[in-house]
Structure 1
Amino acid sequence: MKKNVTITGYKPYELGIFKKDHASVAFIKQAIYKELYPLVEEGLEWVIISGQLGVELWAAEVVFDLQVDFPQLQLAVLTPFLGQEETWSETNKEWYESIVVQADFVESITHKPYENPKQFYLKNQVLLHKSEVSIIMYDPEKDGSPKYFYEAAKKYSETHDYEIREITFYDLQLIVEEEMSKKMDSF
Structure 2
Amino acid sequence: MEVVKTVFVTGYRSFELNIFQDNDPKAAVIKKVLKSELVNFIEEGVEWFLISGNLGVELWAGEVVLELKQEYDVKLGILYPFQGFGENWNEKNKLLLEKVEGQADYVDFVSRRPYQSPAQLKGHTTFILNHSQAALMIYDKEYPGKSMYFLKDAESFAETHFYENRLISMDDLQNFSHE
User: Normalising by structure 1, what TM-score?
Assistant: 0.92
The residue aligned with 1:149 is 150
The residue aligned with 1:2 is 4
CA–CA separation in structure 1 for the residues paired with 2:33 and 2:66: 15
Q: Point out where structure 2 has 5 or more consecutive residues left out of the alignment.
A: none
Q: CA deviation at 1:41?
A: 1.6
CA–CA separation in structure 2 for the residues paired with 1:33 and 1:97: 21
SS in 2 for 1:101: helix
Q: Point out where structure 1 has 5 or more consecutive residues left out of the alignment.
A: 179-187
CA–CA separation in structure 2 for the residues paired with 1:21 and 1:121: 33
Aligned alpha-carbon RMSD (Å): 0.8
How many residue pairs get aligned? The number is 177
Query: For each residue in 1:47-97, what CA deviation from the matched residue of structure 2 results, as whole angstroms up to 9, or x when unmatched?
Result: 011011110000011101111111x20000000001111111110000000
2:51 is aligned with 1:19: no
Greater Rg over alpha carbons, structure: 1
Greater displacement, 36-45 / 85-94 = 36-45
Greater displacement, 31-40 / 57-66 = 31-40
The AA in structure 2 aligned to 1:42 is: E
Percent identity (aligned)? 41
Q: CA deviation at 1:38?
A: 1.5
Query: Where has structure 1 moved over 6 Å in runs of 4 or more?
Result: none
Q: Residue 35 of structure 1: which of 34, 37, 44 is its match?
A: 37
Q: CA deviation at 1:43?
A: 2.1
List aligned pairs for 1:85-164, cutoff 5 A. 85-164=86-165
Query: For each residue in 1:91-130, what CA deviation from the matched residue of structure 2 results, as whole angstroms up to 9, or x when unmatched?
Result: 0000000010000000000111000111111111111111
CA–CA separation in structure 1 for the residues paired with 2:168 and 2:45: 21
